[in-house]
Structure 1
Amino acid sequence: MEEVEVVVAHQERATLRVGDVFLKIDADQARTDVEVEAMALAPIPTPRVLWRKPPVLALAALPGMPLGRLGRPSTASPEAWAAAGAAVRKLHDAPLPPWPGRSLNEIASELDGECEWLIANEVLPADLVTRNRQVAEAALRPWTPVFTHGDLQIAHVFVGGDEVTGVIDWSEAGRGDALFDLAILTLGHEERLGDVLAGYGADVDLDVIRAWWSLRSLLAIRWLVDHGFDPSAPGCEVDVLRRRA
């Protein structure tokens, strides 16, 4: 009998692994709709959809291992990180998905609200929040939309040797800022940015990537706390904010 492994579980969704099959259970079927369509459109390797019976989506396991984990050193080679950068560039060069992404105004409004909450509830020192809010301002500028993954954490990129074998968790995909994907991929692993950009093969504004590191971390903390995760663990979001300040 196959054992059931709980990969992740919280109030919004859960992912189970049974042998070589992942079962994703999501309370919001709109997210699953996006995930299935995005994987079909993406020009890079993605998990194979085995079946879907709402609220469950069954996906075949990818070969290889995650590029790394937030809060832990990555053992992947520079070439693997460069391959991830090349895969991201291929995605960004693809035709736009038919659905919109989040607007600049929506992101700015959410950022203001989260910063107010962090300070009012004394979750973080006010000066740390204020400084990172200032850094984040550089990301709040017009951008040319591209096909973005939207949640390109290193744990979502699988590699075998020096090649990308697939990218998982596409529920946040949509039209967005290319530098956001690059920032999320290197969040907490800033030392790997050069390898990623070598594979990406385009000049980018490093100040904007640093701004997205701050912005993403500020936006994530309340959600992480509410869902049982620890953003203050070594190398995670709070450490990212401290480095920016």
Structure 2
Amino acid sequence: MDAEEVEVVVAHSQRATLRVGDVFLKVDGDPAHAAVEVRAMSMAPVPTPTIRWHEPPVLAIAAVHGRELGRLGEPSSASPEAWRATGATVRRLHDAPLPPWPGRGLDDVVRELDAECTWLLAHDVLPTEVIRRNREIAEAALRPWRPVFVHGDLQPCHVFVDGDEVTGVIDWSEAAPGDAMFDLAVLTLGHEERLDDLLAGYGPDADRDVIRAWWSLRSLVASRWLIEHGFDPGAPGCELDVLRSRMRD
């Protein structure tokens, strides 16, 4: 039998993901991440990968068929119908019973935002006015919310579609009770033109102003982690571009 090739999907100081044939091996330095992922996938009323086995620190899951809904920094080739189907899928998740473990509260978000803005300013990552303006826009997200079951890192590359059907949602380690608008914002970060399609499937009660505020907030708080772990938030269409674009709002 021929040996399967091993593909390194992602690797940094916190975790690594390898693909061997049709199985992904996720190796995480914090076993709590995989534990949350396993529990969240068992509870979520949406398509999720099949768990092959779990022996900390390794979680083995089956590949999901289909293709990514999109990827930050690249135009999404998925159809409007696929985005609408994604909105309906996210709504099912948000309407589900809450997971029993705690999520981040408003005070946690405010502290993180203030700390990350201070770091961005101290390291001259962006002009002061860009950071100041985005911190101002982010205020609209800093309000009490009714917790729902959120994925917590619902990037379009974590949603797989086949034609107009959602076939799977991956990477559940950040799942928790949280703000529904955060999930919708992460999905459309850098894909603003897809927001109407997403919300057509999600339903009428989404707050567009709060989603736009989360675009700024997410980009502000994620940039340092990306830089320190070898990613480039300054690539075209990515987080720093999103922050610059908010100056036109």
TM-score range, shorter chain: over 0.9
Unaligned stretches of 5+ residues in structure 2? none
Instruction: Tell me the residue number matched to 1:187.
Output: 189
1:40 maps to which of 39, 42, 46 = 42
Q: Does 1:18 align with 2:8?
A: no
- Which residues of 2 match residues 49-198 of structure 1 at below 5 A? 49-198=51-200
Q: Percent identity?
A: 72
- Distance, in Å, in 2 between the alignment partners of 1:77 and 1:105 is 38
SS in 1 for 2:168: strand
Distance 1:217 1:80 in 2: 25
Shift of 1:123: 1.2
Q: CA RMSD in A?
A: 0.6
Query: Which of residues 5, 18, 22 in structure 2 aligns to 1:3?
Result: 5
TM-score normalized by the length of structure 2? 0.98
Deviation beyond 4 Å, 4+ runs, structure 1: none
Q: What TM-score comes out, normalization by structure 1 length?
A: 0.99
Partner SS for 2:177:
strand
Partner of 1:82, secondary structure, is helix
- Measured in 2, the distance between the counterparts of 1:223 and 1:149 equals 19
Helix, strand or coil at the partner of 1:25: strand
1:10-30 deviations in Å (ceiling 9; x for gaps): 000000001100000000001
Cα distance in 2 for partners of 1:139, 1:196 equals 19
Find the aligned partners of 2:46 and 2:123 in 1 and give their Cα distance.
Answer: 42
- Separation (CA, whole Å) in 1 of partners of 2:206 and 2:58: 39
1:128 deviation in Å?
0.4
SS at match of 1:235: coil
C-alpha distance in 2 between matches for 1:204 and 1:153: 18
Q: By how many angstroms is 1:53 displaced?
A: 1.1
Q: Paired residues, what number?
A: 245
What SS does structure 1 have at the residue aligned with 2:47? coil
SS of the equivalent of 2:53 reads strand
Q: CA deviation at 1:38?
A: 0.1
Query: Deviation at 1:117?
Result: 0.8
Could you tell me which amino acid in structure 1 is paired with residue 54 of structure 2? R
Q: Extract unaligned runs of 5+ from structure 1.
A: none
Q: Counterparts of 1:151 and 1:161 in 2: how far apart (Å)?
A: 23
User: What secondary structure does 2:146 align onto?
Assistant: coil
Offset at residue 124 of structure 1 (A): 1.0
